[in-house]
Chains A and B, each alone.
Chain A
Amino acid sequence: MVCWSCEREAGQGVLCAHCRAVQPPDEGADAFAVLGVPVAYGVDLAAAEAAFKQLSRQVHPDRFAKADPRARKAALGRTVQLNDAWKTIKDPVARAEHMLTRAGVDIGRGDHDISGMKTREVMAPPAFLLEVLELNDELSAAKRQGDSVKVAFMAEEMRGKVAETMQLIAARLEAGTPEDLQAAARAVVALRYQKRFLDSAEGSGPGV
């Protein structure tokens, strides 16, 4: 890319190699590339956080409050991208989804029609769905009856299942063959249901 400010070759960094002007974001970069860390599910989170903060210090709009509008625009764009990248990397589920998406695996983020229904969402296996439905019924019944011990027990059990699913996702993503990625994608879809259940059991979910 040619630097917008000095019109020389800016190089690969966030700042121009020649004049140090902040460069607009590379829209094609994935979250790992934005933070400059190797692509791996078991990413070194401390290193990623350090990179996030160090880059923030360079490109945050606060550093350009009085600068040229083009510099402010570039800084804003960079920072939005940077914040999004760190949000994705630090969260294990978002990180898994991101790795699958960048590997071209459809995890059915889905559209929403204006009626609020999700369309095109990848469905979990019917047996799994049935199990979730039954658990949900059980949970609602326990809540209705004010059985807080049962609710807490169900939440604890689900936390165990979530941990298992996460381990499965991690293992499959580390292995990385196309079959592994497909299996990881199915696990990610299952994880969404499990998390929704957990939210509801822990009290921060819908209807509470």
Chain B
Amino acid sequence: MSEALFDISEPGQSRAKRACRTRAIGIDLGTTNSLVAIVENGKPVCLPDDAGTTIVPSVVHYAADGRVLVGAEPRDTLAPEFPRDTIASVKRFMGRGPSDAEATRRLTPYAFAPAAPSEGVVRFAVAGGRAVTPMEVSAEILKVLRSRAEEAMGGPVSGAVITVPAYFDEGQRQATRDAGRLAGLEVLRLLNEPTAAALAYGLDKQAEGTFAVFDLGGGTFDISILKLEDGVFEVKSTGGDSALGGDDFDRAIAEAILKRVGLTSVDAHGARRLLDAARGLKEALTDSSEAEASVDLAGATHEVRLTRAEMETLVAPVLERCARPVRQALADAKLEPAALSGVILVGGATRMPLVRRFVEGLFGQPPLADIDPDEVVALGAAAQADVLAGGANDADVLLLDVVPLSLGLETMGGVVEKLIHRNTTVPCGATQTFTTFADKQTGFDLHVVQGERELVGECRSLARFKLTGIPPMPAGMARLEVTFMVDADGLLHVSAREEATGKEASIAVKPSYGLSDEEVERMLLDSFAHAEEDVKARLLTEQRIEAQRIVTAARSAMADTPELLTDADREAIGPAMAAVEAAAAGPDHLAIRSAVEALDHASKDFAARRMNRAFEAGLRGKAVAAVEAEVEKTAPQADLAARVRDHAGHSH
């Protein structure tokens, strides 16, 4: 980030920037398989391993000796032997708590570490007494992809775009971002998978028109409707089910096998073998009309024979669940299926003949068949990474994505008041005023939820926070203004203030499933022993950059408005600035951090005066002011973001 301060609007540098463009990578972090792609000579390509395979199975094995293995070997040879220590389909656990359905379902090969009642993250108990979170498991996959890219490019990765299902909620997105940080990646953007697929397809075919992307992966289903026109890829609507995919087909088949052999339950080894046999049968039945598998269960070997028709009967009820989101997405986009220029298929499960027939039935037209459903998402991610890393370039395409699920607040009686509706183009903001319902009410409890239902209990809870210290007033007199802002990543920031007193509170919504900075740091340090590179060096570099940024910002602020500086300010800020610079020259990242905090504190009053001046100069508005406040956090006047909102409110 430090160089960013100096590269504003200097057109002469565009050539140098161009040269760096290949340093950003695109990652498809899939339920079943993951891929990494880069842009080479203007075209995105997936990077293969030595054997020429681009796919990395998303399977992570934790060995008793502390080693971590990722990919085909754990999937094919280690999972059957060590089902508990070999995590597959970890994506289905991202952003999920210990009490979520995913962690409590039947036929699971995993052991879960006992969790404290308040704990929001599920943990797998694996070999060597370790308890790993889904974010850590995903980070292992990302690390493999990162080093594959670094080898191919002959240098470090500058940033990554990681794809997520469009229908992922805030918690799942935050968990994915955390996994990226744990893998030492600067996550430039979380990109929705269908959008990435449409981008890759549209760029490759020079396509224009309105397309549906039907993305049925291992664990998630997404449907997106996009309009491709004049280099702008605009998402019109999106929908889906973040717990529906090929894995559920496997489960339906596995349950049927279990029933056939007359068993009701199996142990972890049995569950793994059963699920693998089901997957094998399903895949074989893509090309043949009959298949068989042998599976060892409860001490006996069972031969299982299945026809395609039987298999289709078993999975049809699961597939049927895709229909409702598709119809809703078409209705939201105000489109009839016939108006679509084409249907793009993404995800391994769309190879199944049954799925292709189903899609044709839903849309009234056969899906496009000229794309590789496995690679297209990673290719789109690489294209977008290239755009983001390259800076403004008129030839670049522009993606306009949307909020997948409405965002709102709980009001009295458990009713949800939506502030931002689904399918609103991001970034976006909204402000709503609430009043007290009781006399002498001195606080507001704010409960932020996500979902389409009217009742809180049926939506996903994202965060709770409190605004207290409001002087007692009659009911309806205290007026609380709440502002939601969704940034270009689809991440939500919430702020609230009481208009009469100016009391305020704000949070960047970290759902209970997200990790705090401290947790990420601790996890990074925990993995230190196994890390390929020096984590502390990374932290040190980051803190040094931060220090440089803060000092530069403070210096330019002082030069900008010297008349607002008091002697006391000068006495406090000068030495604090010197202390930051001294600490930055040293090796201790914690020392730099505390020096930065001290500088922040010392410049507080000065920053407050600058901020007030800015308002008097006419800074008004609501949503946009809060947006600015959010960005303002990167400046030393961080804690003044609140005052932006204060003033913004009075324009109401």
Contacts and interface: CB of A to CB of B under 8 A. Distances in A.
Interface of A: 5-6, 19-21, 24-25, 27-28, 53, 56-57, 60-73, 76-77, 79-81, 83-84, 86-87, 111-116, 119, 204, 206-207
Contacts of A56: 232, 398, 400
Contact of B435 (A5, A57, A61, A114): A114
Q: For chain B, which range describes its interface: under 10, 10 to 19, 20 to 34, or 35 or more residues?
A: 35 or more
B479 interface: yes
Contact of A113 (B188, B331, B435): B435
Contacts of A72: 631
Given A53-B230, A112-B417, A63 B425 contact: no
B590 to A, nearest CB: 24
Q: Specify which of B7, B437, B487, B621 lies most central, judged by the most chain A CB atoms within 10 Å of its CB.
A: B621
B53 interface: no
Interface string B234-270: 1000000000000000000000000000000000000
Given A67-B391, A112-B434, A206-B454, 6 more contacts: A25-B624, A27-B625, A73-B631, A83-B427, A113-B437, A115-B412
Given A63-B391, A84-B429, A87-B424, A77 B398 contact: no
Contacts of B125: none
B388 interface: yes
Given A114-B412, A114-B434, A116-B411, A62 B429 contact: no
Q: Specify which of A64, A83, A113 lies most central, judged by the most chain B CB atoms within 10 Å of its CB.
A: A113
B488 A76 contact: yes
A78 B487 CA distance: 12
A76 B487 CA distance: 8
B425 A62 contact: no
A82 to B, nearest CB: 9
Nearest to A81: B624
Contacts of A27: 618-621, 624-625, 651
B373 to A, nearest CB: 26
A21 B631 contact: no
B334 to A, nearest CB: 11
Given A56-B398, A61-B427, A116 B8 contact: no
B623 interface: yes
B391 A65 contact: yes
Contacts of B230: 53
B580 interface: no
Interface in B410-450: 411-413, 415, 417, 424-429, 432-437, 444
B9 A69 contact: no
A10 to B, nearest CB: 12
15 contacts: A25-B624, A27-B651, A53-B398, A56-B398, A56-B400, A62-B399, A62-B488, A64-B392, A66-B4, A66-B391, A73-B632, A76-B628, A112-B417, A112-B433, A114-B411
A113 B391 contact: no
Contacts of A86: 425
Contacts of B188: 65
Interface of B: 4-5, 7-9, 188-189, 229-232, 234, 331, 384, 387-389, 391-392, 394, 396, 398-400, 411-413, 415, 417, 424-429, 432-437, 444, 454, 475-476, 479-480, 485, 487-488, 618-621, 623-625, 627-628, 631-632, 634-635, 651
Given A28-B620, A53-B230, A69 B398 contact: no
A207 B415 CA distance: 12
B8 A68 contact: yes
A27 B618 CA distance: 9
Given A61-B488, A62-B398, A67-B391, A115 B411 contact: yes
B392 A76 contact: no
Nearest to B475: A113
Given A65-B389, A66-B4, A112-B432, A21 B425 contact: no
B7 A69 contact: no
B389 A66 contact: yes
A60 B437 CA distance: 40
B4 A67 contact: yes
Q: Specify which of B411, B412, B427 lies most central, judged by the most chain A CB atoms within 10 Å of its CB.
A: B427
Q: Specify which of A71, A84, A87, A206 lies most central, judged by the most chain B CB atoms within 10 Å of its CB.
A: A84
B9 A116 contact: no
A60 B396 CA distance: 12
Contact of A111 (B400, B433, B627): B433
A80 B429 contact: yes
Contacts of A116: 411-413, 415, 417
B415 A80 contact: no
Contacts of B434: 111-114
B388 A66 contact: yes
A65 B399 CA distance: 13
A206 B476 CA distance: 26
Contact of A77 (B232, B415, B433, B627): B627
A111 B232 contact: no
A29 B142 CA distance: 45
Nearest to B444: A114
A87 B391 contact: no
B159 to A, nearest CB: 8
B9 A114 contact: no
Q: Specify which of A5, A24, A114, A116 lies most central, judged by the most chain B CB atoms within 10 Å of its CB.
A: A114
A62 B488 CA distance: 8
A194 to B, nearest CB: 18
B577 to A, nearest CB: 18
| 9 tightest A-B CB contacts, nearest first | A27-B621, A115-B412, A73-B631, A116-B411, A63-B392, A68-B8, A65-B388, A113-B435, A115-B437
A67 B631 CA distance: 13
